[in-house]
Structure 1
Amino acid sequence: MKKLLNGTLCLLIAISCTGRLQAQDKKDKIKELVSAQSYTFKAQTALPMSGRVRQLTSEYELKVAKDSVIAYLPYFGRAYTAPLDPTKGGIQFTSHKFGYTVNNGKKGGWTISIKPSDAEDVRQMTLLLSEDGYGTLQVTSNNRQPITFNGYITAREQRKQQ
């Protein structure tokens, strides 16, 4: 009976240590993605300034690399001017000229500020990111009310060479 209890105790300790190691590995991976400036923010919910919270069912994302920022996000809220091209709804742009700053958060995590200078409408994007990879993206525009997205980051897919 004593051997059974000792064996069970050892098994429980091993399982709890494995969980901690996996959590630490995930935090190290997220830290590596942020420092390499190569990740994709996957939006799961949209929180407009006016209106209700919307669960996103399509693949909306913000891709960040050292040389580019690519946004494909929806927009819900009040726009002060309408786009001339009706196919340009939402927040869609590719920027190659942008400011990028990373600050450490108070309780771990990071505050990432992206200021594209060659995007027509977007003034600033602020990504509040936890050590676990979950984040909140706030988008401030010139001609629209601000909007917030909740989601998570993953490793950015590399382009395939042909």
Structure 2
Amino acid sequence: MEILVKKWAKQAFLIVLVSFLFNTSFAQTTRKEKSAQKEAEVKGLVESRNYVFKAEFAQPMRGGSRYITPDYDLTVSKDSLVAYLPYFGRAYIAPINPQDGGVMFTTTQFDYNMAEKKNSWEIVFNTRNAKDVQKMYLSVGKDGYATLQITSNSRDPISFRGYVQARKKKA
């Protein structure tokens, strides 16, 4: 009887071990497939120049970092760049209109320079007629999370963290 129990225990152990190894390798394959799919999606967005950077977190040069509402974004298309972002920090020239306090502009005159790195895409926007904004640096990771840094003529630099997503189609 004792021999049967030992055989049964060995078989049960082997069954549990094999099923554990199978489930682990299956989960890793699924994770890798999802990661590869997300990477291809993000690459397509960045290369097509047709996406939205959704800002979630603002990091001014001075003062504390803060979460922001999901309404703020930078919309990129081949022919235009639309920024609707808040600003926190020191402005060296105060805006005449208090409604002009953020980083808000629409321009069709900009350069889009992209370089692919090991784990990200580095994009530099040079704006020619956007009020107060010199350059914007967008670093997009393969997973879609991104950091946007803005340098200005009359304000301290500010950074935003968020993610890129496809632009919504207009109805």
In the superposition, the TM-score normalised over structure 1's length comes to: 0.92
* Number of aligned positions between the proteins: 159
Per the alignment, residue 66 of structure 1 pairs with 78
Which deviates further from its counterpart, 51-60 or 64-73? 51-60
1:110 and 2:110 correspond: no
SS at match of 2:105: strand
Alignment RMSD: 1.3
Distance across 1 between alignment mates of 2:153 and 2:116: 27
SS at match of 2:36: helix
SS at match of 1:12: helix
SS at match of 1:144: coil
SS at match of 1:84: coil
Shift of 1:48: 0.8
Q: How does 1:59-138 map to 2 (within 5 A)?
A: 59-105=71-117, 107-138=118-149
Which deviates further from its counterpart, 21-30 or 51-60? 51-60
Higher helix share: 2
Query: Which ranges in structure 1 are unaligned for 5 or more consecutive residues?
Result: none
SS at match of 2:69: strand
- The percent identity for this pair of structures is 42
Distance across 2 between alignment mates of 1:58 and 1:6: 46
Q: Give the letter for the 2:30 counterpart.
A: T
> 1:104-138 CA distances to partner (integer Å, 9 max, x unpaired)?
22x32111001111211111100112111111111
Moved over 4 A (4+): none
1:13 and 2:17 correspond: no
Q: 1:23 aligns with which of 15, 35, 39?
A: 35
Distance across 2 between alignment mates of 1:139 and 1:69: 14
Contact 2:73 2:85 in 1 (8 A): yes
Distance across 2 between alignment mates of 1:56 and 1:135: 15
Shift of 1:24: 0.7
Q: Give the letter for the 2:109 counterpart.
A: K
Shift of 1:146: 0.7
> 1:27-77 CA distances to partner (integer Å, 9 max, x unpaired)?
110011001011111111111111111111342110101011110100001
Q: 1:47 aligns with which of 44, 50, 59?
A: 59
Distance across 2 between alignment mates of 1:55 and 1:112: 23
**In the superposition, relative to structure 1, how do residues 134 and 58 fare at CA in structure 2: closer, same or farther (>3 Å)?**
closer
Higher strand share: 1
Distance across 1 between alignment mates of 2:136 and 2:69: 22
> 1:72-100 CA distances to partner (integer Å, 9 max, x unpaired)?
10000111111122212200011111111
Distance across 1 between alignment mates of 2:70 and 2:21: 45
Distance across 2 between alignment mates of 1:9 and 1:128: 37
In the superposition, the TM-score normalised over structure 2's length comes to: 0.87
When Rg is computed on C-alpha atoms for both structures, the one with the higher figure is 2
